[in-house]
Amino acid sequence: MIPLTHSLIIAALLFTLGLLIILLRRELLFILMGLEVMFNGAALTAIAAGQYWNNADGQVLTIFLMVVTAAELAVALILVWLAYEHFKVTQVDMLTQLKDDTQGEPP
């Protein structure tokens, strides 16, 4: 049996790695990958807690989290695809520079 502290350390490392990917990379696909790694760290925490308290709540929460993550990923990939089709860029910095300067004026 793996001790709770080892599982929580690995989960914290996964979460931190995902956060670093989000903060350091500016590509939309890398940001999505960072979110996935963060979700995996949270899922590992839930599984470790469920194993520690000898109940299946952690596994049930992990399955729910995976379903939500898959739905989030599908919507996010569609948005990335549409952003690339419309603007021909996938970098977040470029997308924020493409804001409309005519705020308040009627079309």
pLDDT in tens, 9-54: 999 999 999 999 999 998 889 999 999 999 999 999 999 999 999 9
State the pLDDT at residue 67. 95
Cα 14 to Cα 39: distance, rounded to the nearest angstrom = 9
Domain-wise residue ranges, the chain: 8-88
The C-alpha angle 67, 13, 25, rounded to 5 degrees, equals 80
Considering the four listed CATH numbers 3.60.15.10, 3.30.70.260, 1.10.287.3510, 1.10.490.10, the one that applies to the domain covering 8-88 is 1.10.287.3510
104: pLDDT confidence band, cut at 50, 70 and 90?
A: low
Q: Which two tokens stand for residue 93?
A: 């910095």
pTM of the model: 0.82
Q: How do residues 43-102 score in pLDDT, each as one tens digit?
A: 999 999 999 999 999 999 999 999 999 999 999 999 889 888 988 888 888 777 666 655
Higher pLDDT, residue 52 or 103: 52
